[in-house]
Structure 1
Amino acid sequence: MADLRIRPALAAAATVLLLAALAAVPMLATDFQLFRFTNVLIYALALVGLNLLVGYNGQISLGHGAFYAIGAYATALLVAHADLAHWLAVPLGGLLCLVLGFLFSLPVLRLQTMHLAMATFAFGAVLPTVAKWKGVEQWTGGTQGLALDEPTVPFGLALRFDQWIYLLALFVLVVCFWMTWQLLRGRVGRAVIALRDHPIAAQSMGVHAVLYKATIFGLSAMLVGLAGGLAALSMRFVAPGMFGLFLSFGFLIGIAVGGLGALSGALYGAVCLQFIFLVVGASASSLRTSNTPLVYGVVLIIFLCLFPNGIAGLVRTGWAALRRRWAGRSGSGHPLPGRIG
């Protein structure tokens, strides 16, 4: 019993130390390294949102990069044209994605899984073209994109803006990760997973399939939109070419590599995505070359063949083996409680 009380305390202490170490990164990293670390946090936030939809609810989206673009453009437009504080523009962009995602999903959720995937694919393909439309070009900058002046760091903090954006991205990721975890471990999470695994049984028990799925779709779009808003501030630039279909495919690669149905998989997948970007070229824009499909395809095939449960599943299996070995050496005969992932 004493061990049952000690383990949560140790886990909490480890979490606090990890967050403290992450918060200290801006003081130690170079500008280039800090930009990469910020990207990892932003990708992790987007992958939490997509994993919520695909991994936990079983809905396939091939166009979630569109909500990333909406969040980025909404944030950029509010900062550049409405002169709104950037730290207020990001949640407003996320709220817009929540509403649009919920409304978009209501009609398409009545379709079969493959038709839903095709509908999201079309949405992701069309949206970048909208930003080039002559009717909105004066606000979005059209094909040339929209550049942002470097905003002022709020609250008089003695930080560079790049350092502040990293800390803001870390804060948003931690809050969203905790809220998603709380959501999934409660009644809503049980209903969502039941709709994924046993939809007929769940509906017979009174679970409103369309309402729950639309809500999860909206929340997923909101998280991806928040990530897009943070990306716009980090790069201080948005353009239609940044939000092609390969962005959506990259997110799917990220959750497949990190681990479907495991929130920690978003963190592993974000690190892997950044690694892929570095391998292909010096920046994320390099992935829009002809080598992009080849790299994505090779990574996906390798992981699906060797690690079907992703890195999160690999870590979970390895941790369970260590716990069994530890329990065997201690002579207790019972594995210690707990689970990673």
Structure 2
Amino acid sequence: MTTGPTEVTDKPAPAAAPARGGILARVTGAGWRRPAVAVLLVLACYAPFQLVPFRVFQLTMVLVYAVALLGLNLLVGHAGQISLGHGAFMAVGAYGAAIMLDRWDVPHLVTLPAAAALAFVLGLGLGLPAVRLRGLYLALVTLAIAIFLVPLLKRFESVTGGSMGLTLAKPAPPAWTGLAEDQWLYFLALAVTVTAFLLAHGLLRSRVGRALHAVRDNETAAEVMGVRLPFYKRLAFAWSAMFAGAAGCVYTWVIGFVSPDSFAVTLSITLLAGLVVGGLGSFAGPLLGGLFVMFVPGISQDINDAAPGVIFGLLIIVVMYVAPTGLAGLAGRLARSTKRILRKE
């Protein structure tokens, strides 16, 4: 049986009908993430010229906490490990920078990589418990690190300044910038924050990030697939400590003073609470958590001066009830709900 020649026509193929909700998908989908980030950066650069110095200082501290929470997010949100001693690594970076500035008169910008490297090495060593411990046992070990750090810093008074701490000079803005001191510190913190987020983004998109996710999701399956659990668990602690050390260094620049009581165990607990409220495993979580850590304790103090801790705890409960996956997850749910409603219309 033979077949005739295939008929060829010059008629153009009909254009594909636009997918239903196609424009809406582009508006509410991932395609708008980069423009949203660009708009956020423009607003961030514009803010210090419109706000009073105190508000600029508050935003600067939000950026500092965001960098610290970015490291904690790598460890808890992406590697599935737990840490109640993250404030200790922040203290390592802060005191490392402070000692370099006070004792050796090192330039401010040089202290940043040095403090981050110091915290990375200590995190690599203190990550040894993560190889054998998990869950509550690992949390207890990291909590112990945060507890003994404060008396340890007070003991070596000749180096750390003891209970009195160390007073330091803040980075002075170059004359050519025309910026005030608070604005210059803000832009330094912003530059460190953007660099940290880009570094974390690249890390999570690499082989290391895939390994961390495999460890988080199922350690047994990850080991069967060839993931070296001890290596990547320690590496997660080291990266987390590095970001905390960088945040501690910028904290020293902004405050111009460090003392052991600034890094008490409550700081570690507050950082973990801020990350959970912001959203574990999301890039927006550390930034939202930084806002929470910076502003909610002050709001709690204003609501009830006698028992701010009670108000702080109640606010956490309310946020967790409304947004079980954090504020970042709540924003995603609202976007999906809006998308469904508009589709029905």
Report the TM-score, using the length of structure 1 for normalisation. 0.87
1:32 is matched by which residue type in structure 2?
Answer: F
The residue number in structure 1 matching 2:148 is 126
- Give runs of aligned pairs for residues 208-227 of structure 1, distance below 5 A: 208-227=228-247
The residue number in structure 2 matching 1:336 is none
One of 48, 63, 68 as aligned partner of 1:41: 63
Task: Decide whether the 8 Å contact of 1:49 with 1:220 is kept in 2.
Answer: yes
Structural RMSD (CA): 2.4
Cα distance in structure 2, aligned partners of 1:295 and 1:87: 39
Cα distance in structure 2, aligned partners of 1:201 and 1:155: 57
For the pair 1:204 / 2:220, whether they are aligned, the reply is: no
- Following superposition, the deviation at residue 108 of structure 1 comes to 4.1
Cα distance in structure 2, aligned partners of 1:192 and 1:108: 13
Task: Flag the 1:181–1:328 CA change in 2: closer, same or farther, 3 A.
Answer: farther
Task: Decide whether the 8 Å contact of 1:65 with 1:124 is kept in 2.
Answer: yes
The residue number in structure 2 matching 1:307 is 323
- Following superposition, the deviation at residue 5 of structure 1 comes to 9.0
Task: Flag the 1:103–1:176 CA change in 2: closer, same or farther, 3 A.
Answer: same
- Following superposition, the deviation at residue 328 of structure 1 comes to 4.1
- Following superposition, the deviation at residue 195 of structure 1 comes to 0.8
For the pair 1:173 / 2:210, whether they are aligned, the reply is: no
Question: 300-309 or 242-251: which moved more?
Answer: 300-309
The residue number in structure 1 matching 2:3 is none
- Following superposition, the deviation at residue 11 of structure 1 comes to 4.0
Q: Where has structure 1 moved over 6 Å in runs of 4 or more?
A: 1-9
For the pair 1:255 / 2:275, whether they are aligned, the reply is: yes
Task: Decide whether the 8 Å contact of 2:301 with 2:308 is kept in 1.
Answer: no
- Following superposition, the deviation at residue 293 of structure 1 comes to 4.0
1:320 is matched by which residue type in structure 2?
Answer: R
Task: Decide whether the 8 Å contact of 1:109 with 1:116 is kept in 2.
Answer: no
Which consecutive unaligned segments of at least 5 residues does structure 2 have?
1-17
Q: Deviations over 1:218-244 (max 9, x none)?
A: 111111111111111111000011111
The residue number in structure 2 matching 1:326 is 342
One of 42, 54, 64 as aligned partner of 1:32: 54
Report the TM-score, using the length of structure 2 for normalisation. 0.86
Q: Percent identity?
A: 38
1:110 is matched by which residue type in structure 2?
Answer: R
The residue number in structure 1 matching 2:111 is 89
Which consecutive unaligned segments of at least 5 residues does structure 1 have?
283-288, 330-341
Cα distance in structure 1, aligned partners of 2:75 and 2:126: 14
- Give runs of aligned pairs for residues 100-119 of structure 1, distance below 5 A: 100-119=122-141
For the pair 1:151 / 2:171, whether they are aligned, the reply is: yes
Task: Decide whether the 8 Å contact of 2:90 with 2:248 is kept in 1.
Answer: yes
2:322 is matched by which residue type in structure 1?
Answer: L
- Give runs of aligned pairs for residues 59-98 of structure 1, distance below 5 A: 59-98=81-120
- Following superposition, the deviation at residue 90 of structure 1 comes to 1.9
For the pair 1:58 / 2:59, whether they are aligned, the reply is: no
Cα distance in structure 1, aligned partners of 2:187 and 2:78: 28
One of 194, 207, 213 as aligned partner of 1:187: 207
Cα distance in structure 1, aligned partners of 2:327 and 2:26: 29
- Following superposition, the deviation at residue 190 of structure 1 comes to 1.9
Task: Flag the 1:19–1:254 CA change in 2: closer, same or farther, 3 A.
Answer: same
Task: Flag the 1:326–1:121 CA change in 2: closer, same or farther, 3 A.
Answer: same
State how many pairs are aligned.
322
Q: Deviations over 1:280-318 (max 9, x none)?
A: 448xxxxxx984542443233223333210111110111
Q: Which structure has the larger Rg?
A: 2
Cα distance in structure 1, aligned partners of 2:79 and 2:309: 27
